[in-house]
Each structure stands twice: as C-alpha cells, then as structure tokens.
C-alpha cells in the first residue's frame, strides 16, 4: 500500500531536545572534573560527591529526553543507557552505605560508560522524526483486535494514552495510542524511527482500510 486511505492522516512529531542537549552539556562539566580526579590524587575526599553530582545531572538529562517519545524505554539503546545509569546509582549507594571510598573507581567507570550510552540513546531518539499516523476515532467504538497482526494490544477500547506496542523485525518500535486534539479523539500509530527509514505501511501489520471504513461508518451514524 503506497498511500493511506482517508480519513487517515499524518502529523509531524514535536520534539524539544534543545533542553536535553543543554542539560547533557552541563552534566559533562562535572564529568570532566571526574577525569581530572582520575588522573591526579588531589582532593580525593571529593571524588564521591563529585560523582554523585555528575550522576544526578546525567539522570536529569536522560529523563528529559526519555519522556519526549512514547515507548522509548523499550528501545534497546535506551535500555542500555538506563542499565548503565542504574548500575552507577547502585554502586554509589553501596559505596556510601558500606563506606567503600577506596572503590570510587567503580562509580567513575559506570558514569563514564553512561555518558557514551546516553549519547547514543539520545542521539537516536532525537533523530526519530517519522510522522505519526492518526485516524479520527469515537471512544465508544471497540478496537478490532484481529486487524492488528502480531501486536501486543493492552486495551481493546480507546483510551487517551498508550494502547499497544509492536516491534518490527528491523527493531523499530510501533506504538498504538489514543490522543485528544482540540476536543477531537484520534487513534494514532507512532513509529520510533527516522523519517527516511520509516517502515512501509504493509510492515505495520495494521488493516488501515478496515479501520478507515469503521471510522467513516461511525461518523455517518453520528
């Protein structure tokens, strides 16, 4: 299928990664001091507090980028970054709790690794600008689950929020969700991928034609 049947439409994805980039850049400042702490033995008592401050700023930057895209936590790059940040946080708690200041290098290793994994994850999320597909939908209309092939649909009824996900063979994540725009309700499908590599409509595993007919039928009855 080359084109979407009416009344399906495409809308651009709003992304505000400027703030995320700003927070990430500021987080690199204490990370730079951590590099100096690693190379030199001066101010050893400040190693853990500095690591804790850098980790907190990295987590804030990561969260600001994460919340901008649906199902971003299911993306493998994001999961890797989340894992390294989680490991860094756990190591920090253990070092403080067990008074293991001499093992500061464990925390530093995780923080340095988190910088790399975060950069890869956030760069990918920022590049995912494939348009969202949306269809006017009446909330009272049940979702025809058999028209969503190999989807993990969490709800068979329209809700304002996430309704289901699907991972393609290419690794691209698709998210089914409900949205309200100017008092109108829509059924939407979002592909977490750059626009130039957006999956073909046949790969979505969605019967766009049948859903369009259902939407038209309900609209005519109303």
How is residue 131 annotated by DSSP?
Answer: P
In a domain, 12, yes or no: no
- pLDDT at res. 216: 75
Pair (26, 57) in one structural domain: yes
**CB neighbour burial string for 165-192, b if at least 16 within 10 angstroms, e if fewer:** bbbeeeebbbbbbbbeeeeebbbbbbbb
How is residue 171 annotated by DSSP?
Answer: S
Residue 172 φ then ψ, to 5° = -65, 135
- pLDDT at res. 219: 59
How is residue 193 annotated by DSSP?
Answer: S
What would the pLDDT profile of 126-175 be if each residue is shown by its tens digit?
A: 999 999 999 999 998 899 999 999 999 988 899 999 999 999 999 999 99
Is 62:81 a contact under the CB 8 Å cutoff? yes
In a domain, 63, yes or no: yes
Token digits for 44? 């050893």
Is 51:35 a contact under the CB 8 Å cutoff? no
Among 127, 149, 183, residue at a domain's last position: 127
In a domain, 2, yes or no: no
Q: How many CB atoms lie within 10 A of CB 73?
A: 12
Instruction: Name the residue range of residue 58's domain.
Output: 18-127
- pLDDT at res. 119: 96
In a domain, 11, yes or no: no
Q: Is 203 helix (H, G, I), strand (E, B) or coil?
A: helix
In a domain, 53, yes or no: yes
How is residue 160 annotated by DSSP?
Answer: S
Pair (141, 115) in one structural domain: no
Total domains present in the chain: 2
In a domain, 1, yes or no: no
How is residue 149 annotated by DSSP?
Answer: T
Pair (25, 114) in one structural domain: yes
Low-confidence residues in the chain, pLDDT < 70: 1, 218-222
Pair (29, 121) in one structural domain: yes
In a domain, 8, yes or no: no
Is 215:149 a contact under the CB 8 Å cutoff? no
- pLDDT at res. 220: 47
**In the chain, where do the E strands start and end?**
9-11, 132-136, 152-153, 162-167, 173-181, 184-192
Pair (148, 204) in one structural domain: yes
- Give the side-chain half-sphere CA count within 13 A for 100: 12
Q: Is 165 helix (H, G, I), strand (E, B) or coil?
A: strand
What would the DSSP string read from start to end of 173-192?
EEEEEEEEETTEEEEEEEEE
Among 127, 143, 161, residue at a domain's last position: 127
- pLDDT at res. 110: 97
* Cβ neighbours for 44, distance < 8 A, ≥ 6 positions apart: 37
- pLDDT at res. 112: 97
């Amino acid at each position: 299928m080359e084109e979407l049947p009416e009344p399906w439409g495409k809308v651009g994805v709003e992304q505000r990664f400027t703030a995320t980039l700003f927070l990430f850049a500021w987080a690199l400042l204490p990370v730079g001091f951590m590099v100096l702490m690693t190379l030199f033995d001066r101010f050893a008592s400040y190693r853990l507090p500095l690591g804790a401050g850098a980790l907190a700023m990295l987590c804030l930057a990561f969260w600001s980028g994460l919340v901008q895209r649906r199902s971003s936590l299911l993306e493998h790059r994001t999961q890797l970054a989340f894992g390294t940040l989680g490991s860094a946080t756990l190591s920090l708690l253990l070092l403080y709790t067990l008074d293991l200041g001499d093992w500061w290098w464990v925390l530093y290793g995780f923080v340095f690794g988190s910088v790399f994994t975060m950069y890869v994850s956030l760069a990918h999320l920022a590049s995912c600008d494939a348009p969202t597909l949306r269809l006017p939908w009446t909330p009272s209309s049940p979702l025809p689950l058999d028209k969503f092939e190999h989807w993990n649909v969490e709800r068979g009824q329209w809700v304002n929020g996430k309704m289901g996900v699907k991972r393609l063979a290419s690794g691209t994540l698709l998210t089914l969700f409900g949205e309200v725009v100017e008092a109108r309700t829509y059924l939407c499908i979002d592909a977490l991928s750059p626009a130039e590599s957006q999956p073909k409509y046949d790969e979505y595993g969605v019967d766009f034609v049948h859903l369009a007919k259902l939407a038209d039928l309900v609209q005519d009855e109303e």
